[in-house]
Amino acid sequence: MEPQNYIQVSEFLLLGFSEDPEQQSLIFGLFISMYLVTVLGNLLIILATISDSHLHTPMYFFLSNLSFVNICFTSTTIPKMLVNIQTQSKAITYEGWIIQIYFFELFVVLDSFLLAVMAYDRYVAICHALHYMVIMNQRLCGFLDLVSWITSALNSWLQSLKILQPSFCTNLDIPPFSVNLIM
């Protein structure tokens, strides 16, 4: 086996959308407004589900979980991007990048699992309407939610382990929205 050169990475440089301060102000305003709308909209869904006893059904249980995951998903990357725009900082540490990748992957996969569970819930509601409340009880809903979280965390952990040893050369510039994970 041939010896390989490995470099010790301490940080990455994130390439911004624009260097123009006027455009950065516009981009910051757009992203913070979209972020706030997303977080507040999902919080409203969660609060409506919790506060109204008529909405304590499996469908709304999964919908509120999906809203929580969407809040976490957007909070994984957007706040760091907003800080970078405001401070003109373009660096992210290697550890910060790995953590961000882990949580990004976790919430992307969890989002998909919860959508699949919601599809199953609707399937049972339509095809087995008379047995719906017996099949989709609180225990099964909690179990499906727990399995989704555990599977997503395990998948995210395994994906993060793959990238702990970077096999790239010296170009540490990362364009925005171009970090592709090995699926």
% residues pLDDT > 70 (the chain): 80
Domain ranges in the chain are 11-174
Confidence of residue 41 (pLDDT cuts 50, 70, 90): very high
pLDDT at 11: 66
Contact 124, 135 (CB under 8 A): yes
> Options 1.10.357.10, 1.10.260.40, 3.40.50.1370, 1.20.1070.10; which CATH number does 11-174 get?
1.20.1070.10
Average pLDDT (99-118) is 95
Please report the pLDDT score of residue 183 as a whole number: 44
* 170 close to 7: Cβ distance less than 8 angstroms: yes
The tokens describing 48, both together, are 């409506």
Q: What is the pLDDT of residue 80?
A: 85
pLDDT at 153 exceeding the cut of 90: yes
Please give the helix or strand (H or E) that residue 11 lies within, else none. Answer: strand 11-14
How sure is the predictor about 25, in pLDDT bands with cuts at 50, 70 and 90?
confident
pLDDT for 90 equals 76
Judge if pTM exceeds 0.85: no
With residues binned 3-state (H G I as helix, E B as strand, rest as coil), the percentages for the chain, rounded to 5, are 70, 5, 25
Closest CA to 96 of 112, 79, 71, 72: 79
CA dist 19 to 2, 26, 85, 87, 177, Å?
A: 43, 12, 10, 12, 17
